[in-house]
Amino acid sequence: MNIGMIEAAAERLRGHARITPMLSSPDIDRLAGRRVLVKAECLQHTGSFKFRGGWSAVSALPPEVRARGVIAFSSGNHAQGVALAARKHSAPCVIIMPSDAPRLKIDNTRALGAEVVLFDRTTGDRDAIGARLSSERGLTLIKPFDDPQVIAGQGTTGLEIAAQAAEAGVTRADVLVCCGGGGLSSGIAVALEARAPGLRVRTCEPEGFDDMARSLALGSPQRNAQTTGSVCDAILTPEPGALTFPILRRAAGPGLAVSDEEALRAVAIAAARLKIVLEPGGAVALAAALFHAHRIEGDAAVCVASGGNADPALFAATIARFGTGD
């Protein structure tokens, strides 16, 4: 993975992905105790940054391979990103999703034209299901994070952060990134190494599912004890990616972890102060800036608000419970 791959992905994404805005709020700055810039990837096509990686990977396939179709594993956001990219390339698409994924994400993936195959997250073997379908139909697997072209696509977020932060006068800051397997974090880290070396990626995860933070601290990949049990469903992964962890070990600072309640409070604060909808997993970076300020360095922080595909009932309950969040 290198900056050349990210720049090539940016060219393929030109005119297809949105350049998402960098938002700010004096109230959030006050609550965080420093200037906070929020990269609103929740406003990307399909409601998350995952469209970038999906388009990058699908568009990079040889036409004859792409025509046979693609397959992906996802709890929802990668599913929608790949499904939309496949539809726009007129390619068949199969998505394997856990049966406990939010109904909104399952329905949206089907609405984008993908065939959805559900499995039990605790007893099913998604890899076996994927291998069988790929073999039977000649489908190409688009992995959610351990795929060079996916990482390159996510890295285009970092190119935009570098330019937008510079325009805002921020040249040294921690860049807080919501992290599951590490595709977004590692892509941004590679982009910032080349374009904005004063900006440093910090991974942000839910407490109890902070495999990347523990892996970075110990210097070797660590597994989570469980794969369910957090409201941050979008970023629950068993362990760091084989491609992403070495990048982050080289180019990222220490990882951060937030509680589910902190993530939900960040959802409420983002709605009240920035007028954006975040899902809990897409709000953990903002939660880290707000509630773990003592662990962040510098006078400014950049937070990637990575996804906005919130379950309507959970979002309504969060606003009812926390109000403006502060």
Domain boundaries, the chain: 3-49+147-322, 51-141
pLDDT (tens digit per residue) in 112-164: 999 999 988 778 787 788 888 999 999 999 999 999 999 999 999 999 999 99
pLDDT (tens digit per residue) in 43-58: 999 999 999 999 999 9
What are the b/e assignments for 11-46, b being 16+ CB within 10 Å?
ebbeeebeebebbbbeebbebbebbbbbbbbbbbbb
Q: What is the mean pLDDT of the chain?
A: 95
Q: Under DSSP, is residue 79 helix (H, G, I), strand (E, B) or coil?
A: helix
Quick one: 79 exposed, middle or buried, by C-beta within 10 A (0-12, 13-18, 19+)? buried
Q: Which of 215, 204, 208 is nearest to 175 (CA)?
A: 204
Q: Which of 52, 65, 71, 58 is nearest to 6 (CA)?
A: 52
Quick one: 244 exposed, middle or buried, by C-beta within 10 A (0-12, 13-18, 19+)? buried
- Which pLDDT score is estimated for 35? 98
Q: Under DSSP, is residue 115 helix (H, G, I), strand (E, B) or coil?
A: strand
Would you say the CATH fold of 51-141 matches that of 3-49+147-322?
Answer: yes
- Which pLDDT score is estimated for 103? 84
Are 42 and 282 in contact, with CB atoms under 8 Å apart? yes
Q: What is the DSSP letter of 263?
A: H
Task: Please give the biggest Cα pair distance in the chain.
Answer: 56
Are 205 and 213 in contact, with CB atoms under 8 Å apart? yes
What is the third-level CATH fold of 3-49+147-322? Answer: Rossmann fold (3.40.50)
Q: Tokens 């139909």 identify what position?
A: 137
Are 116 and 82 in contact, with CB atoms under 8 Å apart? no
Share of the chain above pLDDT 70, in %: 100
- Which pLDDT score is estimated for 274? 98
Helix axes 148-167, 3-13, angle to 10 degrees: 80
Are 77 and 101 in contact, with CB atoms under 8 Å apart? no
May I ask the CATH class of domain 51-141? alpha beta
Those residues of the chain that have pLDDT short of 70 are: none
- Which pLDDT score is estimated for 124? 77
